[in-house]
Amino acid sequence: MSVMVKSEGVHKSYGSVEVLKGIDLEVRKGEVFCLIGPSGSGKSTFLRCINHLEKINAGRLYVDGELVGYRQKGDKLYELKDSEVALQRRDIGMVFQRFNLFPHMTAAENVMEAPIQVKGVSKAAAKERAHHLLERVGLGDKARNYPAQLSGGQQQRVAIARALAMDPKLMLFDEPTSALDPELVGDVLDVMRDLAESGMTMVVVTHEMGFAREVGDNLVFMDGGVVVESGDPREVLNNPRHERTQSFLSKVL
């Protein structure tokens, strides 16, 4: 099974507003899959559907061959119990625009928390792993710092280390650098680039076209809840075929 995420005709509405109007796409294992598009086009909603933070109204979503949030019997879908959804979500790391670290915990404690609470890892083992992961994101010397003592870029790297502590098979990034001062963006992108090189499967919503071009294996342009165009990032960015893609890129590039 070489496919990590498969989306078939995924629809999502809030009340009478249809936000996703049938998303079909496939993310292969080990791939960096970039999602771009104007504000309000449904990018965050789609990411949230992948780990079932949002329920879809129609279609099918699979992660690593498993239906997300449902069990299929014959033609019918049955919703999984919260505990079963939590088990699926455990394998999916998510990094948001805002870092959402626990403010009363040090960087190391933030990274240790889920493995201890969710996986029952011993405190000593979780601590050792946390230090290793903080080293990996370039923050080996910040383990004892509280979030308020860290820059936004450092906090975001702690958030990435925290997600990695659960050994995810898939990482979702929702505009991870959008809230950062420009000079802090590079360090976060470097960590993401390293992660990509290590073979992690990543779905990345971003406005960093340089990152998409250099690191992305695939790029999708979404607008109005549909995939307008997709393909090799260099191809899509250099030669957008659709007028809507051209118009968007002319504003952001």
Residues lying near ligand ADP in the complex (CB under 6 A): 14, 19, 37, 39-45
Contacts (Cβ under 8 Å, ≥6 apart) of 220? 25, 33, 34, 35, 36, 227, 229, 230
Q: Which residue has the tokens 């240790």?
A: 112
Give the whole-angstrom CA distance, residue 189 versus residue 208: 9
- Cβ proximity to ligand ADP, 160 vs 205, nearer residue: 205
Q: How many chain residues are in contact with Mg ion, going by CB under 5 A?
A: 1
Given ligand ADP, Mg ion, none, residue 19, with its beta carbon under 5 to 8 Å by kind, binds: ligand ADP
Task: List beta partners, residue 173.
Answer: 95, 204
Give the whole-angstrom CA distance, residue 136 versus residue 194: 9
- Cβ proximity to Mg ion, 44 vs 106, nearer residue: 44
Task: List beta partners, residue 222.
Answer: 227
| Residue 44 within binding range of Mg ion, rule CB under 5 A | yes
Task: List beta partners, residue 33.
Answer: 203, 218
Give the whole-angstrom CA distance, residue 37 versus residue 221: 5
Question: What does R_g of the chain's alpha carbons equal in angstroms?
Answer: 18
The least distance separating Mg ion from the CB of residue 106, rounded to whole angstroms, comes to 29
The least distance separating ligand ADP from the CB of residue 17, rounded to whole angstroms, comes to 6
The least distance separating ligand ADP from the CB of residue 41, rounded to whole angstroms, comes to 4
| Residue 41 within binding range of Mg ion, rule CB under 5 A | no
Given ligand ADP, Mg ion, none, residue 177, with its beta carbon under 5 to 8 Å by kind, binds: none
Q: Which of residues 48-107 bind Mg ion (CB under 5 A)?
A: none
- Cβ proximity to ligand ADP, 41 vs 106, nearer residue: 41
The least distance separating ligand ADP from the CB of residue 133, rounded to whole angstroms, comes to 28
Given Mg ion, ligand ADP, none, residue 83, with its beta carbon under 5 to 8 Å by kind, binds: none
- Cβ proximity to ligand ADP, 40 vs 140, nearer residue: 40
Cβ-in-10-Å burial (0-12, 13-18, 19+) of 111 comes to buried
The least distance separating ligand ADP from the CB of residue 111, rounded to whole angstroms, comes to 27
Amino acid (1-letter code) at residue 249: L
- Cβ proximity to Mg ion, 133 vs 228, nearer residue: 228
Helix, strand or coil, per DSSP, at residue 155: helix
Amino acid (1-letter code) at residue 69: G
Residues forming contacts to Mg ion in the complex (CB under 5 A) are 44
